[in-house]
Homo-oligomer: A and B are copies of this chain.
Amino acid sequence: MSPQEKLDTRTRIVLAAMELFWAKGYNSTSVADILSRTQLNAGSLYHVFPGKQDVLVAVLEFYRDGIQENLLDPAWEGVDDPIERIFALLDRYRWMIVETDNTYGCPIGSLALELHEADPVVRELLAINFTNWAGAIERCLEEAGERLPAELDRRALSEFVLTTMEGGVMQARTYRDVAYFDRGVAALRDHFDMLLVRAAGRQAMA
């Protein structure tokens, strides 16, 4: 018995579509792909969802609602220091890159660039997923308190961490080489080190 078989139809579709959209992209995933993977028939899918795009919306809502349990909690297990948590999260992406033979792509980032004329509902969900990701980083930065310069724009830096992840993932996949991701993270680490030094200097003066 497949592990999906106890789940309800809607959930089975969302899980299958999540994997397929991630692996092949939205446009390259056909409804038939989703049906064959879930062993369902067209009517069942269209009984639950008005159309293919509504499946995408459900997938993006799933990412949005599961970021804590599915991404942050696993990445931060046993890591307490707020700044190390940031790099632990990046390390989790590194792990996913390696695990997929350097073909990993951030599902949100890939969809954001693939869907050129995205429906407003879809675009807003992509944006919310980015916001939640960066928001989690921003909370780490706030927790770091005085270790970082007081005047530092914490929101900007949290977005910059997201940028580092997305850019690193993009290059690692294009070159099929994690080293590109690693060098990006190393540059970000350098950035943090310099910020920490700057803040420590200010602290010492006061």
Contact = CB atoms under 8 A, between A and B. Distances in A.
Interface in A134-179: 153, 155-157, 159-160, 162-168, 170-171, 173-176
Interface residues of A, number: 48
A163 B90 CA distance: 14
A153 B183 contact: yes
A25 B162 contact: no
A175 to B, nearest CB: 5
Chain A contact residues: over half helix, strand or loop, or mixed?
helix
A132 interface: no
Interface of A: 23-25, 27-28, 103, 105, 109-110, 112-114, 116-117, 123, 126-127, 130, 153, 155-157, 159-160, 162-168, 170-171, 173-176, 180, 183-184, 186-188, 190-191, 194-195, 198
What are the 7 tightest A-B residue pairs by CB atom distance, in nearest-first order? A163-B167, A156-B183, A160-B187, A194-B194, A113-B113, A110-B113, A167-B167
9 contacts: A27-B27, A103-B116, A123-B174, A153-B183, A160-B167, A160-B188, A166-B166, A167-B167, A191-B191
